[in-house]
A and B are shown apart, each in its own frame.
Chain A
Amino acid sequence: MTSAQAHDGETASTSAAPAAAPSVAQPEEGRSGVPVIVWRLASFALFFAVWEVMGRIPFSLALPPASDVFAALAVMIVDGELARAYGSTVPPLLVGVAITIVGGVLTGLLMGLSRLFEWFVLPIMVILQTAPVAAIIPLLTYFYGIDARAKILAVIILGMPLVTLNSYKGIRGTSPSLLDMSRSFLGSRMQTVAFVILPSASPMIFAGLRLGVSGAFIGIVLAELLITPTGIGDTITYNRGIARYDKMFAAIVSIIVIAAVTLALLQSLERRLFRPEQKAA
């Protein structure tokens, strides 16, 4: 059998001959032929335009126009107010996120690989995931006072169940046929976990990480609003108190930007590490 034989009558879904790969570097395009990035920018533009109009009517004194908010954001960056606020927000956030990621993925792995661990941990995770956490977080003060540990714990409580449950579902979702394949080709348990189960679960694990990191940002802000008036949460509360709504919204916008950038970095890390086929056309 020659390779020429295989090609006739058999067309790959890409219909591209392997030697003559077409230029893959074309920008993503939507159905209408307009690059996707244009639609995304249009979405942002529309959002801020509506905001600007509402602010100028004015709809409420507590909703300054978008332009004022961005001006305030620039001022806060220049005079160091934001940097000072994040100085006390970021360290507990990072510690909390690190524990959330490592602990969450490990717990999810163990749950996915061991029935006993699954029975033991699943109820706890479901309780944590469904509990009204905002009502519980102020209680952390009783354990840790207004220590950074309270913030870290708030981050973990909001982030970890999402990471754990997604990792667990991803691992359980591994195709039985791939597991049979690995076993029939003499893969050990460790090899099957490393070469089959983990890459197969990685989209779910990373989806969990994205949700978990979003949860962690909510956790840190909740903790700073509800327990320890420091950091970016305090910036929000303080400026709301003195009716500087432009600065308050600027602080919120800064959190959104930082969270969005973190999530985008996570996504590119995943593609690089586990799923090279998502880059191929």
Chain B
Amino acid sequence: MPAGPAASPLSTETPMSEQTTAPATSSATGPAAGGAPAARVRDIAMWYPGGVHALDGIDLDFPTGKLTALLGPSGCGKTTLLKIVAGLIPPSGGTVEAGGATVSAPGPDRALVFQDFALLPWATVLDNVAFGLRLRGVGRAEREATARHYIDEVGLGGFESKFPHQLSGGMRQRAGLARALAVNAEILLMDEPFSAVDEQMRRKLQEDLLSLLQIEKKTVIFVTHSIEEAVYLADQIVILSRRPGRVSKIVEPDLQRDGPIENIRKDSRYVEMVDDIWDGLKQFVE
């Protein structure tokens, strides 16, 4: 486990302006070579009532503008860690920092994308995407204009007045993604966002997410149980061990990401990396 570089926690840089999209070159420089991480967790531990020890001693940096995948066997506490970063559940021990400030509750700098989409079934796509802005007191005209922009950006244009039950799973998650983008948070927290859609749709959504991130430049924390998904999407993969979840290994897929997105899966290092990670993960799977 690499020790995080001693960057100042009070960095004032704006994550949006950072464009260090050069492919991660060597692991020697460490994940946060581009500057202070957008978020970091220190010594996070989690015990659930009843004595379940979910997480133990988690130290992680989430580099600005990069996608970090949290990968691990089911029940390793990946989603718990994500919800702790989101500020939805307080950790039993340790601290979370985002944008240099300590996190104890949800904040405007972080937006969640949910595994089950978490769309309001009685609201249209437009109202769902605008929901975060509505909670912030943004006026109707302004929030709907913003929502329409992101609905177009995620490829849902024309479906503004549809209800969630009229959409396929993939389209629902596009709406969930648009809602998270609409509040313009620096950090996107994605909890197994594509696990509830079929295989072909998942590949399409993964590709679209990568092209979207080239425009939007977010720091992403992405929970997944799929090795292929992690290698394909992530700049940094954090492998968690079985309960209690500990950081078992951090790898940085050294893939060509500046070319056309379709090329990533053809990269021979993609296949090697998937095999490597599987070798490391096997021990945790019964």
Contact = CB atoms under 8 A, between A and B. Distances in A.
A11 B122 contact: no
Given A1-B153, A3-B152, A10-B201, A183 B88 contact: yes
A177 B134 contact: no
A200 B112 CA distance: 20
A277 B152 contact: no
Interface in A137-194: 175, 177-178, 180-188, 191
14 contacts: A3-B155, A6-B156, A6-B171, A12-B171, A14-B162, A177-B118, A181-B112, A182-B135, A183-B88, A185-B106, A185-B136, A195-B120, A200-B122, A277-B164
B120 A196 contact: yes
A26 B114 CA distance: 36
A18 interface: yes
A2 interface: yes
A1 B106 contact: no
Interface of B: 83, 86-88, 106-108, 110-112, 114-116, 118, 120-123, 131-132, 134-136, 152-168, 170-171, 174, 179, 183, 200-201, 204, 208, 211-212
Contact of B204 (A9, A11, A195, A281): A9
Interface residues of A, number: 38
A183 B106 contact: yes
Contacts of B155: 1-3, 5-7
A274 interface: yes
B114 A13 contact: no
Contacts of B162: 12, 14, 18, 280
Nearest to A18: B158
Closest 3 CB pairs of A and B: A6-B155, A3-B157, A185-B132
A195 B134 contact: yes
Contacts of A3: 152, 155-158
A38 interface: no
A20 B207 CA distance: 29
A281 B112 CA distance: 30
A177 B116 contact: yes
Nearest to A280: B163
A272 interface: no
A242 interface: no
A7 B212 CA distance: 17
Contacts of B132: 185-186
A199 interface: yes
A57 interface: no
Contacts of A182: 135
Contact of A185 (B131, B165, B208): B131
Given A11-B168, A181-B114, A195 B135 contact: yes
Given A3-B155, A181-B112, A199-B122, A18 B161 contact: yes
A204 B238 CA distance: 43
A135 interface: no
A98 to B, nearest CB: 26
B121 A277 contact: yes
A11 B198 CA distance: 12
Nearest to A180: B88
